[in-house]
Amino acid sequence: DAKTTQPPSMDCAEGRAANLPCNHSTISGNEYVYWYRQIHSQGPQYIIHGLKNNETNEMASLIITEDRKSSTLILPHATLRDTAVYYCIVSAKTDSWGKFQFGAGTQVVVTP
């Protein structure tokens, strides 16, 4: 199973871009990269996912390296409400129920 490595914590200034790295060097060809976040004492929130190409939605952008061994989640203009634990998960899209695993994530603190 592919596993991910994320820094345990990072700080970001309000209004600046937050770039959250994730390493997944053993990712398989059919596995996607998913990002979630969990604000304290709430349920996790799906952010974005991608396979090969860069993806963007109203919440964030996902940049995946050409060799797919790492990715970066970009929050373009961080706000205080973006303070949360961010999880990077790699998984196939179907038939891998038990392999969709949340790790420890990155605790992001956005400061004024």
Report the nearest approach of other proteins to the CB of residue 52 (Å): 15
Q: Of the two residues 29 and 112, which places its CB atom closer to other proteins in the complex?
A: 29
Helix (H, G, I), strand (E, B), or coil: what is residue 54? Answer: coil
Q: Which of 75, 105, 106, 110 binds other proteins (CB under 8 A)?
A: 105
Considering only residues 47 through 86, tell me which ones interact with other proteins, judged by CB under 8 A: 49
The region that residue 41 occupies, defined by phi over 0 for left and psi between -120 and 50 for alpha, beta otherwise, is left
Residue 102's CB: how many other CB atoms inside 10 A?
14
Type of residue found at 76: P
- Select from 15-23, 38-46, 60-68, 73-81 the region that touches other proteins (CB under 8 A): 38-46
Radius of gyration, CA atoms only, the chain: 13
Which residues are at the interface with other proteins (CB under 8 A)?
32, 34, 41-46, 49, 89, 91, 93-94, 96-98, 100-105
